[in-house]
Each structure stands twice: as structure tokens, then as C-alpha cells.
Amino acid sequence: MPFLFFPFDPLYLYLVLPALVFSLWAQFRVKRSFDVYSKKLTTKGTTGAEAAQEILRRAGVTDVKIERVNGSLTDHYDPRTNVIRLSDTVHDASTVAAVGVAAHEAGHAIQYSAKYVPIKIRTAILPVTSFGSRLAIPLVLIGFVFDMMGLINIGIILFGAVVVFQLVTLPVEFNASRRAMKALGDTGLLTADELPGSRKVLSAAALTYVGALAVSLAQFLRFVMLARRRR
């Protein structure tokens, strides 16, 4: 998310910068955890794709496809096409990290199948959020440059929608990880010694969402305070 660099104000230093540092640390941590546990092969030799398929099968979800996508940590579930896309380092990899990530994405698919309320809320506000994420900062910037409080207020409201979306995303991500860890234990896809490794990878990944929310919330508060000063 781009930042507004007005003439220096302490709000950026006290609000946004600490949140940004935390977010960068969270991204570093998830990459490091994934790298560490990508070197640990699973006892049963189950690949990420196989783990996701087995978890879906046991949950009674039979209409979700699993595809391979290029990149690393590009894994995601697409509810529009009902497809789980697993990255090169997950799809065919028989590692503790790969199985954990694949199980997490299967957890998202199960959430949609079970009509999990937070994910329904997130889906409902997604169009507003997509619109707001593109226009919020330009509107705030133009409003400050030309002293147009109306534009500033609209931009702040749209940016607030982004913050709400990220706030709703937290329980969705945490719940998907809980579902993943429970499924991995119940199915025996990972041994008792391997489960903590997957948990560390998913916990680190969850922190990146906390970091993103922290940055957006700090920026939102900064905009509000700057607008009050302008008034």
C-alpha cells in the first residue's frame, strides 16, 4: 500500500513507521519459517496437493479443483472458480511447510462450503474495498493539495473500508489455520513431531495479516488527524 508523504509530520514517525517495521518483520519471519520447514520432508511423503485433496475429501467437499501456480508463497483459494492454487514450492513438495500451507488453503475452501460467517462478510465488502484501495489515497492527496475537505473525507471513508476488510480478514485467516492444524492431526498426514513445524509456518503467515492491518490502521489514523488539523 503506497503512503502519502506530506511535508514531514511526527504522525508518520510515531504511527506509520512502527507499524511498517512490524509488517516487514512479519514478512521476513514467514519467509524464514517457510524456508526452514521446506527442508524437512514428511514421514509419509504426502505432497501439498495430496494433503489438500485428502482434507477436502474428509470434509465432504468434492467440487474444489487443485491447480499449480507459478511462484513461491503464491498459494490461494479462488472462490470465484472454486479452485485451490498451490505454488511450485507447495504443490508437489513433500515437506512440512508445503503440507501446512496446502492444508490452510483447503481450510479456506471448507469455510466457503460451510458458509463461515466472517468469510461471507469479507466477500460482501470486497467490491467496495477494491474500489476504495485504488481511489482512497489519490483522493486524500488531491484534497490536501487543493484544500478540498470533501475529497479528503471521501478518501478517508474509502480507506476506512480497506481497514475494515483487513480486520475481517484476521478471523478468516486464523480460522483457516485452526481448521488446517486440526485436519492434519485428525488425518495423520503429519506425525506428532511434524505438526509443530506446520503450526510455526502458519502462525508466521498469520502475522503478515496482522502487520498489514497495523499499517493500514496507522495510516488511517494519520489521515484523520491530519484532516482535523486542516479543519
The one catalytic residue in 50, 54, 105, 194 is 105
* 114, amino acid identity: A
Cell of 199: 503450526
Per the listing, cell 512479519 goes with: 26
By CB atoms closer than 10 A (0-12, 13-18, 19+), residue 110 is: buried
Cell of 79: 472462490
**Does the annotation count 67 as an active-site position?**
no
Long-range pairs for 145-150: beta carbons < 8 A, 24 or more residues apart = 147/230, 149/227, 149/230, 149/231
CB atoms closer than 10 angstroms to residue 180:
27
CA distance 172 to 39: 28
Active centre residues (catalytic):
105
